[in-house]
Amino acid sequence: MYIYDDFDLTLVAERVAEFRDQVARRLSGELNEEEFKPLRLMNGVYLQLHAYMLRVAIPYGTLSSKQLRALAHIGRRYDRNYGHFTTRQNIQFNWIKLSDLPDVMADLAEAGLHGMQTSGNCVRNVTTDQWAGVAPDEIEDPRVWAEILRQHSTLHPEFSYLPRKFKIALTAAATDRAAVRVHDIGLRLHKNGTGETGFEVMVGGGLGRTPFIGKTIKPFLPKRDFLSYIEAILRVYNQYGRRDNIYKARIKILVHELGAEKFAAEVEAEWRNIKDGALALDPAFVADIAARFRYPDYKALSDNPIELKRARAADPKFEGWFRNSVTPHRTPGYAIVTLSLKPEGAPPGDATSEQMDAIADLADRYSFGEIRVGHEQNLALPHVAQRNLPALWEALDAVGVATPNVNLVSDIIACPGLDYCSLANARAIPVAQELSRRFKSLDTQREIGRLHINISGCINACGHHHIGHIGILGVEKNGQEFYQITLGGRADENAELGALLGPAVPYAEVAEAIEDVVAAYVELRERPNELFVDTVKRVGIEPFKERVYATR
């Protein structure tokens, strides 16, 4: 966990007092809506279909048990007893009253939580690998760098009114679990030829109306230049970004229109002016930030202890969950456990206050009080002793978060869609629910193998449909919900955008169409472990198209 200091706590507390005053002035009519809207957005407060929605930042997806309990409390006291974990390592509450919001913010602040950088045209909550600090395949903990960016960007006056929102993601692992290539800036920690660790810098990735995979403009950026180079990118964007047209305002359009080379040259020119100034990172400062990430006091344990072996041999249900939801840890004798928030027929990413409290208790008991939030809308316990896995599994199963479907076809990513969102054109959650019911058989899911379905209720793509192995985009045609299907997208280190399968299908047919796609894949794959995306890459989309549209 990162330990906040007095500066952080004071900043959040002052923000609460400021927001309390702003809300009071709005409710009294002293501020009009035009004046108030940007102020509430700067605190993560949106107005949705039925109510205000509060988005709370979970920096780099790391939560303490105390913080998770605070979120459970917010759900219970001020909302409808649940929260929705999003695709950006945030949580949203959908039924909040404006008049309650100052108290909500105050309760969150007591746990070091807030809604800053979850809305508005600023640098948003910086995201990273949910297994940061514990993944065996990472070269160092990327959260240190996410935290440096958080500190630098929070309330930064120069970057609080960017042309549009700005999303940064980091990874330090061989496998990209943070989808860095589809962010405004993606950063990949790696070693160069001399063994020095630095960053590959990618810019101009993004989804939404005009999706792009980010372009690498700096193959290797030394650590000392981390802040100055990112600041140079933001300055170029701030200067040239299209403020005249909201649909062209993201940095991806600027990079595309200028070309990556010219954009990089602009950044280099700006960077030359600032790289040796105050933003050059002193290793002592970085070490200080790193020292505030406290790691558990792991015991000296061995892998594959007898308790685990016995449980695996004795209980096929436990074995199935273990194989699906438990991942190797960098420390011997420990494991990372993913908690599926995708039980059959449930809205993806939702957790009740009771579940959050129970998970917080289990984190205290089995994971050194720490929980992680992933962009796939699942949670993880990052530090579980392998000998405790059987007991943990029983406890997780009792609260409904041990469905062994992680990375399988029913582990669906979906935005809130038209059931909540004022921007949506079509529903996303009911489509996910129907698919999870149709693919409820775990045997069938295991036979299909890894397959990511992503659903967005509008072109803004909060469900990241472009990078789903199967992407589903809701559109409206003459007042009816239709769904475009894309195939072959992926969010990992080989990120690609999916290709459009064909004409959109109506709501009533979308689940059946996806079943057709999956059935075609099972027939087309060369071998049982050829992934869906690899089959699509090998055979193209035509065979899938024929299957889906033959009878439509």
Partner 1 sequence: MTAPSQQKLKVQGAAVITANRLSDGAVVYRTAAGAWTTQLADAAVVTGTQAAKELLARAAADENIAVGAYVAPVDVGADRIEPGNLRERIRVAGPTFSLPACIAG
Q: Is 26 in the site for partner 1 (CB under 8 A)?
A: yes
What is the C-alpha separation between 289 and 174, in angstroms, rounded?
24
Q: Is 405 in the site for partner 1 (CB under 8 A)?
A: no
What is the C-alpha separation between 279 and 38, in angstroms, rounded?
29
Which of 138, 147, 270, 350 touches partner 1 by CB under 8 A?
A: 350
Which range touches partner 1 (CB under 8 A), out of 313-321, 455-463, 515-523, 524-532? 455-463
Which range touches partner 1 (CB under 8 A), out of 26-34, 186-194, 324-332, 513-521? 26-34
Binding-site size, partner 1 (CB under 8 A): 46
What do you get for the CA distance between the two ends of the chain, in Å?
53
489 within 8 A of 471, measured Cβ to Cβ: yes
Give, to the nearest 10 degrees, the angle between helix 101-110 and helix 65-78.
160
Which range touches partner 1 (CB under 8 A), out of 137-145, 217-225, 353-361, 521-529? 353-361
Q: Is 32 in the site for partner 1 (CB under 8 A)?
A: yes
Q: Is 433 in the site for partner 1 (CB under 8 A)?
A: yes
Instruction: Characterise 274 by phi-psi region: left (phi > 0), alpha (psi -120 to 50), beta (else).
Output: alpha
Q: Is 27 in the site for partner 1 (CB under 8 A)?
A: yes
Contacts of residue 352, Cβ cutoff 8 Å, sequence gap at least 6:
75, 81, 82
| Minimum CB distance to partner 1, residue 394 (Å) | 13
| Minimum CB distance to partner 1, residue 465 (Å) | 14
Structure-token pair, residue 362: 């289990």
| Minimum CB distance to partner 1, residue 399 (Å) | 4
Give, to the nearest 10 degrees, the angle between helix 143-153 and helix 226-240.
50
What is the C-alpha separation between 406 and 123, in angstroms, rounded?
30
415 within 8 A of 457, measured Cβ to Cβ: yes
Shorter beta-carbon distance to partner 1: residue 105 or 429: 429
Which range touches partner 1 (CB under 8 A), out of 196-204, 223-231, 302-310, 415-423? 415-423
Neighbours of 210 (CB within 10 A): 13
Q: Is 429 in the site for partner 1 (CB under 8 A)?
A: yes
Shorter beta-carbon distance to partner 1: residue 32 or 239: 32
Q: Is 346 in the site for partner 1 (CB under 8 A)?
A: yes
Closest-CA residue to 162 (of 208, 123, 201, 209): 123
| Minimum CB distance to partner 1, residue 78 (Å) | 11
Q: Is 33 in the site for partner 1 (CB under 8 A)?
A: yes
| Minimum CB distance to partner 1, residue 212 (Å) | 20
Distance of CA 434 to the CA centre of its chain: 23
Closest-CA residue to 134 (of 45, 61, 201): 61
Q: Is 74 in the site for partner 1 (CB under 8 A)?
A: no
Which of 5, 6, 7, 29 touches partner 1 by CB under 8 A?
A: 29
What is the C-alpha separation between 187 and 143, in angstroms, rounded?
12
Q: Indicate the helix (H) or strand (E) that contains 78.
A: helix 65-78
Q: Is 482 in the site for partner 1 (CB under 8 A)?
A: no
What is the C-alpha separation between 286 and 293, in angstroms, rounded?
11
Burial classification of residue 479, based on how many CB atoms lie within 10 Å of its CB (0-12 exposed, 13-18 middle, 19 or more buried): exposed
Q: Is 77 in the site for partner 1 (CB under 8 A)?
A: no
Q: Is 93 in the site for partner 1 (CB under 8 A)?
A: no
Shorter beta-carbon distance to partner 1: residue 42 or 418: 418
Shorter beta-carbon distance to partner 1: residue 111 or 424: 424
Residue ranges in contact with partner 1 by CB under 8 A: 26-27, 29, 32-33, 47-52, 80-82, 96-99, 346-347, 350-352, 354-355, 357-358, 398-400, 418-420, 422-425, 427, 429-430, 433, 458-460, 479, 481
